[in-house]
Structure 1
Amino acid sequence: MTRQARHTLAPAALTALAGAALLALSLPASAQSNDELLRELRALKDRVNQLEQQLQAGKPAAAAPGQWGMTPEQTQELNRVTTKAEALEDSRDAMGFKGLKISGYMDPAFVASRRQNTAGFQFLNGVGDDGYAYDNSTFGSVALDLLKETDSGTKYHLTLVPNRGTESIMNGANRIVQEASVQVPLGDPATLLIAGHVPDWSGYEYTQPTLNKLITHNLLFDLTLPTAYTGVGTQVTSGKWITKAMLANMNTSKRSAGNKMPVIAYRADYAATEYFGFGFAGVHGKAANFSENVTTSDGFQLNPTTGLSEPNSVVVSQPDSRVDLFEIDAYFTRGDWNFNGQFSVGRQAAASVTAAADGSLRAAQWWGLSGLASYKFTQRIEGIVRADYINNKKNGGGLLGYATNDGRNGIGNDGVDTETGANRYALTVGLNYAIDPTVVFKTELRHDAASRAVFEDVRTGTLVKNNQLFATSLVVSF
């Protein structure tokens, strides 16, 4: 202890001793019994002895709560604040707000698509009204995210996205739920039971715009991956590995009559270093088959967007067919640079665009690549480039959920050589400007092409080999 500290200690300790003595003299004997008074005097004597010992040892005295070192007014104010804080905590707990996190985002967008002859704002437009396409993906949405964690560690997650969420995409109707899931610890926090409606976890891109560099998604995300799973499974964290798996319905909340077999969906991630990591995901089982080569009992053909026959909307009897999907993705982020890559391969039985010569249904098969690189020129400005490729020439084409020629997405064949489907390409460049940490202005220019004329030019009614798209969006989150 320094010399200065020793000199400043003595007055403080003496002041405490004087205060204790005054307190003893001021005790009202008439209001207490002799036993109570003796107990308080003993306690006071012990306190005085303690202060004397600390003074002799050269140590500062520990102030009694609400007494030493505080004026009566300060003590009163401290008690008032403490009582108010405890009341607020009790009210929070009684109303269920403990462990609750509320967040959200919105991203109004402007999109111009050359071959579709459209240019305008897209925000809250229904998937059921306009279908799902790469120029009408999961952007242009608003979301409210609720995450509640109980004292036992159970997590409840509900995300609401009107018209643009996974439920809308799955059902071809304007719905509101994006995710509705629970996570329950099984003995320890590293092993969880997961159940409910969970968005697909494949690939390096996400559904929500706050987690993506660009506005539109890569070709693999839009055309080859599932939308969501409804079921039950587990998630296990072990060291640098996080693995999860579910036994679930793929892209439907309830199986139709005659369809009983679910899928097994899984995902594993490994964080090798703070800069690099990789993951892989797969799906194996049966899912809806939207082949247009099968007619319903009423003689109408299946609408691949809604999954219903037209015009009377009679549910088709075509059974689900086998689906096998697998992908691997990786990332590297260091400094101002970020890189992402993905390889996917898939197959669905009896879902090709073109049937065999005898009329039997054949498998749709494909594989694809996607790569993204970004660089931050400043803390606010970031440049992005992404390149995609899908090989889809087998049996006239056909991708997951697309078993017919699709002139908007450029899927299938040109109608001349119906045995050979079109391979797809896409190159996208973008520039982002962060107005502040919660507001980002995005802009991108995208060129899509195919090995065959499969894009419909709605102005002329002809098929061409490419399309160009320009888009901007304002992503605001809280």
Structure 2
Amino acid sequence: MQLKHIALAIMALPVCAQAASEATSPLLQKLEALEQQIKALQQSNAQIPLLQQQVQNLQQQLGVTADAVPAPVNAGTPPADAADEPETLKQTVNSLKIKVDTLSEAAQTGPIAGLSVTGFVDPMFLYNRNSNSASFHFLNKNGAYNYYDSNLGDVYLDIKKTFGVGPEAPSVELVIQPDRGSGASFSSESGGLTNSIFNQANVNLPLSSTDTLQLGLLPSLAGYEPNPTSQTQTLTHNLLFDFSEPASYLGMNYKLFTNNYQTLWQFMLANEQLKSAGAVVSGQNGRSSSNSTPTLAARVDYQYTTSLDLGFSANIGRQTLFTPSSCSGGYGYQCNLSSPFGRYAYAEADLTYTWADIQYNAQVDYGQQAHAAWNGGMAQWYGFSLLGSKKWHTDWLGKVGTVLRFDYLNNSRNGGGGSGILYGLSGNTASINPTSGWGVDQQCLNASSNNGMDCKGTNRGDIALDLLFYPTDKMTVKVEYRHDFASNAVFQRNDGSLSRNNDIFATQFIYSF
């Protein structure tokens, strides 16, 4: 019941005692109703200021009513319950005020103060031509990282707790993504997979209004494409995101705004990517080697205009080489290296241009890792990604979007390979990644007398076309056709043969909260 109704009821009290008695009883009922409303709204912090105002107005009106009611004329002594009701009303109002103040204090300093939980679910249906399969995908764990499902079809929870108010309040953030993303292949210090459900877990410590120190499990600084599916323009990620860019890091990151918040600098010191500790690799005679060299990473974003953001990032460090389990006397694909680690360097530049319902993205990158190629030499890779999207409104379908993306990644030098481009087992051959289309030239390898030491690696590209629909503000439906192609026959078909290309068709339902 709104307070203006209570006020009208009080103002309409007659001057006689009997009428006053009859009017105050409904007022008690209204106060009891208000108390029930407060109990129902205890979980809604947004209602606390309104309740405080209502209680203050009620107190004022109660004071006016008590003063305005005159003593009855020739009516004798009023009944005891009628005389006690004004005092009862005051006690009720005071009790309500205490409850509202308690709720307000809990909202600001209690356990739920500053707590937010956001996220999404995104089940999808996918058809894969090479595997001749079509099915729903959702929380179905896959040990290998595949471009078409390893970061899709998941539950994503972003839990953030802020301690205080204002730009200098510290906070803790946890991002949970079971069986997907970097957590699906996060490695322990011994190189084994830990299958962590966390994609991010860090504390943010503002040092001032312009700089912040972050510590914990942090996402990569590279590229234009974010990790959450709800923020991407396409259903699948681009090739650079999946195989070229560094993944998550465990360490610390320093963020600094300059030039009146127009420029953002970031400097990171961390373990090598996807390592929860410095990697320890077992060697001969029970000896082990440890990677004690940290990774240094940096990024700068310059807001050139309100529509154009320019970014540049770089990484340098030392990372663990991929070594088949069959190796016993060395490291690397050929088992002929004395060290299990190689120097690593990576750099990229990207831009994002947004104007109304139009968005353009572009990225170029280059990476290298010593001794990480198929033949034991320097692994080198470079590529680019271009994306354009447009949204518009229709009478029949409401808001609709279209996206076109083209990617290319060259990985041919020294037989291919590198930090994020790992080959897996295909039958008895540890030379290709059959599901994602990477590896050495199989025809060259089969004809080689030195296990393909002179063979080239594979270059990859893809083109993706997406349709996006927005039934509600929280709902997004993506439909994508993607064609992937390679310079060598490295995609495996369901009959065991190899192909130079693959096609997927997928649709994804995203509900954000």
- TM-score relative to the length of structure 1: 0.76
Alignment counterpart, residue 275 of structure 2, candidates 235, 248, 252: 252
Give the distance between the partners of 1:78 and 1:103, measured in 2 at CA.
37
Give the distance between the partners of 2:328 and 2:466, measured in 1 at CA.
45
Q: Identify the residue that residue 439 of structure 1 maps to in structure 2.
A: 475
- 1:167 matched to 2:183? The reply is yes
1:391–1:120 Cα change, 3 Å: same
C-alpha offsets along residues 88-125 of structure 1, whole Å, 9 cap, x if unaligned? 12334564211111112111111111112221111111
1:335–1:233 Cα change, 3 Å: closer
C-alpha offsets along residues 114-173 of structure 1, whole Å, 9 cap, x if unaligned? 112221111111243xx1111123111102211111125111111111111422222344
Contact kept? 2:442, 2:488, Cα under 8 Å: no
* Equivalent residue letter for 1:475: I
C-alpha offsets along residues 184-217 of structure 1, whole Å, 9 cap, x if unaligned? 122x121111110001131111211111011111
Give the distance between the partners of 1:82 and 1:113, measured in 2 at CA.
63
Give the distance between the partners of 1:322 and 1:333, measured in 2 at CA.
37
Contact kept? 2:186, 2:196, Cα under 8 Å: no
Contact kept? 2:119, 2:156, Cα under 8 Å: yes
C-alpha offsets along residues 380-428 of structure 1, whole Å, 9 cap, x if unaligned? 2101110001112111112433343212111122222342122111000
Give the distance between the partners of 1:317 and 1:438, measured in 2 at CA.
54
Q: Secondary structure of 1:112's partner?
A: strand
Q: Identify the residue that residue 169 of structure 2 maps to in structure 1.
A: 153
C-alpha offsets along residues 288-322 of structure 1, whole Å, 9 cap, x if unaligned? 2114498235x9x9899xxxx9xxxxxx9952211
Alignment counterpart, residue 134 of structure 2, candidates 119, 138, 142: 119
Q: Secondary structure of 2:111's partner?
A: coil
Alignment counterpart, residue 225 of structure 1, candidates 239, 245, 249: 245
Aligned residues: percent identity? 32
Give the distance between the partners of 1:382 and 1:96, measured in 2 at CA.
41
1:190–1:72 Cα change, 3 Å: farther
Alignment counterpart, residue 438 of structure 2, candidates 411, 414, 428: 411
- Cα distance, 1:328 vs. partner? 0.8
* Equivalent residue letter for 1:407: P
Q: Secondary structure of 1:268's partner?
A: strand
* Equivalent residue letter for 2:106: S
- 1:477 matched to 2:512? The reply is yes
Q: Secondary structure of 1:143's partner?
A: strand
- 1:342 matched to 2:377? The reply is no
Contact kept? 1:294, 1:318, Cα under 8 Å: no
1:65–1:473 Cα change, 3 Å: closer
* Equivalent residue letter for 1:376: K
Considering only aligned residues, what root-mean-square deviation do their CA atoms show, in Å?
A: 2.8
Q: Identify the residue that residue 489 of structure 2 maps to in structure 1.
A: 453
- 1:390 matched to 2:409? The reply is yes
- Cα distance, 1:64 vs. partner? 11
Q: Identify the residue that residue 21 of structure 2 maps to in structure 1.
A: none
Alignment counterpart, residue 236 of structure 1, candidates 251, 256, 266: 256
Give the distance between the partners of 1:292 and 1:362, measured in 2 at CA.
16
* Equivalent residue letter for 1:395: N
Contact kept? 1:137, 1:217, Cα under 8 Å: no
- Cα distance, 1:79 vs. partner? 5.4
1:296–1:195 Cα change, 3 Å: farther
Q: How many residues align?
A: 394
* Equivalent residue letter for 1:220: L
Contact kept? 1:352, 1:403, Cα under 8 Å: no
Structure 1 residues 59-458: aligned runs within 5 Å = 67=60, 71-72=64-65, 82-93=97-108, 95-128=110-143, 131-151=144-164, 153-171=169-187, 172-186=193-207, 188-238=208-258, 239=260, 240-249=262-271, 250-257=273-280, 258-292=290-324, 295-296=327-328, 319-353=340-374, 355=375, 361-378=376-393, 380-404=399-423, 405-417=432-444, 418=452, 419-458=455-494
C-alpha offsets along residues 65-84 of structure 1, whole Å, 9 cap, x if unaligned? 95489744999687565433
Give the distance between the partners of 1:72 and 1:183, measured in 2 at CA.
53
Contact kept? 2:186, 2:195, Cα under 8 Å: no
Q: Secondary structure of 2:153's partner?
A: coil
The answer to which of 468-477 and 73-82 deviates more is 73-82
| Structure 1: tracts of 5 or more residues without a match | 1-62, 310-315, 356-360
1:139–1:403 Cα change, 3 Å: closer
C-alpha offsets along residues 408-452 of structure 1, whole Å, 9 cap, x if unaligned? 111122222342122111000010111111110111000000122
Q: Secondary structure of 2:184's partner?
A: helix
* Equivalent residue letter for 1:270: Y
* Equivalent residue letter for 1:132: Y
- TM-score relative to the length of structure 2: 0.71
* Equivalent residue letter for 1:432: L
Q: Secondary structure of 1:243's partner?
A: strand
* Equivalent residue letter for 2:267: A
The answer to which of 287-296 and 150-159 deviates more is 287-296
1:457–1:67 Cα change, 3 Å: closer
* Equivalent residue letter for 2:439: G
| Structure 2: tracts of 5 or more residues without a match | 1-55, 67-85, 188-192, 281-289, 424-431, 445-451
Q: Identify the residue that residue 6 of structure 1 maps to in structure 2.
A: none
* Equivalent residue letter for 1:365: Q
1:64–1:174 Cα change, 3 Å: closer
Q: Secondary structure of 1:388's partner?
A: strand
C-alpha offsets along residues 303-348 of structure 1, whole Å, 9 cap, x if unaligned? 99xxxx9xxxxxx995221111111110111122111111111101
1:224–1:68 Cα change, 3 Å: same
Give the distance between the partners of 1:348 and 1:403, measured in 2 at CA.
12
* Equivalent residue letter for 1:252: K
1:116–1:80 Cα change, 3 Å: same
* Equivalent residue letter for 1:246: M
* Equivalent residue letter for 2:123: P
The answer to which of 142-151 and 411-420 deviates more is 411-420
* Equivalent residue letter for 2:501: N
* Equivalent residue letter for 2:509: L
Give the distance between the partners of 1:95 and 1:452, measured in 2 at CA.
60
